[in-house]
């Protein structure tokens, strides 16, 4: 096996592994949105107390820096972006890591 060939196979493997882990993160984010009760206000398709997950994904699709901005608002609480209902700050029993997984699942293009 030539060195080039090994490098190409190696890169291919890395790409498929990172795709697999993106998949796992997405699944974890979805499960966490249920266990952390985000789903009480955020349904997939219908508007509830909060915007639907599909609406959130649509609004931020292709917007640079959206994830960081949204994450900041999750900790601070948010009002006025979607209407006059407020979302209270996401509290500390949702770790930064879990919140990131949920938000990246919510913002994933769909």
Q: By the criterion CB under 6 A, which residues form the site for ligand HEC?
A: 36-38, 40-42, 49-51, 56, 70, 73-74, 78-83, 85-87, 90, 94, 102-103, 106
Nearer to ligand HEC among residue 15 and residue 63 (C-beta): 63
Q: How far are the Cα atoms of 60, 92, 93 from residue 108, in angstroms, in the given order? A: 9, 24, 24
Cα–Cα dist 75/15, whole Å: 33
Reported as half-sphere exposure (CB side, CA atoms, 13 A), residue 65 has a value of 3
Shortest distance, CB of residue 69 to ligand HEC, whole angstroms?
Answer: 7
Cα–Cα dist 88/66, whole Å: 19
Shortest distance, CB of residue 85 to ligand HEC, whole angstroms?
Answer: 4
Shortest distance, CB of residue 66 to ligand HEC, whole angstroms?
Answer: 8
Nearer to ligand HEC among residue 1 and residue 64 (C-beta): 64
Shortest distance, CB of residue 48 to ligand HEC, whole angstroms?
Answer: 8
Nearer to ligand HEC among residue 25 and residue 82 (C-beta): 82
Q: How far are the Cα atoms of 1, 2, 12 from residue 5, in angstroms, in the given order? A: 6, 5, 11
């Amino acid at each position: 096996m030539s060195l080039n060939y090994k490098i190409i196979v190696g890169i291919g493997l890395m790409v498929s592994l990172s795709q697999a882990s993106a998949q796992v993160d997405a699944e974890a984010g979805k499960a966490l949105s249920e266990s952390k009760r985000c789903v009480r206000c955020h349904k997939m398709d219908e508007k509830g107390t909060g915007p639907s997950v599909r609406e959130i994904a649509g609004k931020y699709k292709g917007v640079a820096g959206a994830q960081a901005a949204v994450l900041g608002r999750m900790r601070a609480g948010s009002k006025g972006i979607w209407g006059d209902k407020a979302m209270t700050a996401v509290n500390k029993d949702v770790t930064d890591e879990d919140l990131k997984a949920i938000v990246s699942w919510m913002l994933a293009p769909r």
